Amino acid sequence: MSNKKKIKLLLLNGAIVAINIVLFSNVFLGLSLFKGTALTLLAGWGAIVSSLVAFFGGNMKILKNEEIHLLAKDVESLDDCISVFEEAIYNGDVFDENIKKNIEQIKRFKRKYNTINDILLQKFSAEEMTYQKFSDVLKEVEKVIYINMRSIINKISAFDMEEYENILKNKIDKKMLPKEKLDIYEGYINFVNEATNTNEEILLKLDKMILEISKYNSIDGGDIKNMPAIVEMDELIKNAKLYK
């Protein structure tokens, strides 16, 4: 959930609590649900009902807000990507499964990154050339994941979710739309699927890298590029850069 959405929820629920304190505290109006005149009892129960409506209605409206507040131009890190994805998941059902995968992929990547770095520091000092070369590979992988996530965000942001869902619900006759437009929608969806799958392949290669690194107590700098996991990762990175 984005910080902006958290602030809105905090302000809404804080206001509901504050109003009820004023209404029911003996220091202020002192309304009661069980004691008093018919008029004050009615006012008390009316306040409770209104509070419940405001609580459930207001919170649901904020949580399901369809506006994506952050676009890719505002994204500068993988953590920013998570914030955007958490907003976008309320923007329709078309990309929800991929968005959940993307969020989990970022978290998994960060865990694997830290694991590989910890293993390397157990075997090499941070000043050694071998460590530096592995570190460069990890940074390149992070860059590709980041580029892919930004690209996914761009596609989701540009996608006309309302129109597409109306097509799916037969509110708009497909026969009335040019085939080219339907192809464009499918192109967006296919792009997000392919970029998500590429990220998954990269994570698999990182698992292989962790396994290979853990086998060696010493690795010469020149041998790194010949390691199977590194060779596969280099090839995958070259292809992944096509998804910008």
Per-residue pLDDT tens over the stretch 40-87: 888 888 888 888 888 888 777 766 654 444 455 678 899 999 988 887
CA 74 → CA 144, 154, 155, distances in Å? 18, 11, 15
pLDDT of res. 66: 46
Three-state secondary structure call for residue 100: helix
pLDDT of res. 152: 92
Q: Name 194's Cβ contacts closer than 8 Å, sequence gap at least 6.
A: 243
pLDDT of res. 172: 67
Distance, CA of 100 to CA of 197 (rounded, Å): 13
pLDDT of res. 20: 84
Q: pTM of the entire structure?
A: 0.67
Residue 150: phi and psi, rounded to 5, are: -60, -40
8 A C-beta contact, residue 230 and residue 136: no
Q: Which residues of the chain have pLDDT under 70?
A: 1-5, 62-73, 90-92, 171-175, 216-225, 240-244
